[in-house]
Structure 1
Amino acid sequence: MPSDVEYSPVGEGLGMSEHWLYVWMRRFSLIAAHVIALGLTSLLSLLSRPGTSLFSWHPVCMSFAYCLCMTEGILLFSAEGTIFCFKSRKGKVRLHWFLQALGLVAAVTGISFMVASKNVSERPHLASWHSLLGMGALAATFLQAVCGVCLLFPKLLRVASPQRLKLYHATCGLLAYLLATVAVVAAMFSNWFQATVRGAAWWAFLLLPFFPALVVMNQITNAYLPRKKITS
Structure 2
Amino acid sequence: MSADVEYSPVGEGLGMQESRLYVTMRKAAVIAAHVTGLGLTVTISVLSRPGTSLFSWHPVCMSVAYWLCMTEGLLLFAEGSLCCCRSRKRKVGLHWCFQAVGLVSAVTGLGFMVASKNRSQLPHLVSWHSVLGVCTLVVTALQAACGLCMLFPQIQQVSLYSAKLKLYHTTFGLVVYFLATVTIVSALFSDWFQATMRGAAWWILLLVTLLPALVVMNQIINSHLPHKKITT
TM-score greater than 0.5 by the shorter chain: yes
How much has 1:59 moved relative to structure 2?
0.2
Structure 1: unaligned runs, 5 residues or longer: 1-14
Over the aligned positions, Cα root-mean-square deviation in angstroms equals: 1.6
Q: What does residue 205 of structure 1 align with? A: 205
Structure 1 residues 227, 181: closer, same or farther in 2, change over 3 A? closer
Measured in 1, the distance between the counterparts of 2:67 and 2:124 equals 23
The TM-score with structure 1 as length reference comes to 0.89
Q: Deviations over 1:165-202 (max 9, x none)?
A: 11111111111111111111111111111111111000
Q: Which moved more, 1:137-146 or 1:160-169?
A: 160-169
Q: What does residue 128 of structure 2 align with? A: 129
Measured in 2, the distance between the counterparts of 1:92 and 1:38 equals 19
Q: What does residue 187 of structure 2 align with? A: 187
Q: What does residue 226 of structure 1 align with? A: 226
Structure 2: unaligned runs, 5 residues or longer: 1-14
The answer (yes or no) to whether the contact 1:16–1:22 under 8 Å persists in 2 is no
Percent of aligned pairs with the same amino acid = 65
The TM-score with structure 2 as length reference comes to 0.89
How much has 1:18 moved relative to structure 2?
6.4
Q: What does residue 91 of structure 2 align with? A: 92
Measured in 2, the distance between the counterparts of 1:95 and 1:17 equals 34
How much has 1:17 moved relative to structure 2?
9.9
Amino acid at match of 1:144: Q
Q: Deviations over 1:22-69 (max 9, x none)?
A: 111101100000010000000001000000000000000000000000
Q: Which moved more, 1:55-64 or 1:185-194?
A: 185-194
Identify, as 1 or 2, the structure richer in helix: 2
The answer (yes or no) to whether the contact 2:51–2:57 under 8 Å persists in 1 is yes
Q: Deviations over 1:125-144 (max 9, x none)?
A: 01101111111111111011
Helix, strand or coil for the counterpart of 1:208? helix
Count of aligned pairs between the two proteins: 217
Looking at CA atoms only, which structure, 1 or 2, has the larger radius of gyration?
A: 2
How much has 1:156 moved relative to structure 2?
4.6
The answer (yes or no) to whether the contact 2:167–2:225 under 8 Å persists in 1 is no
Measured in 2, the distance between the counterparts of 1:17 and 1:138 equals 43
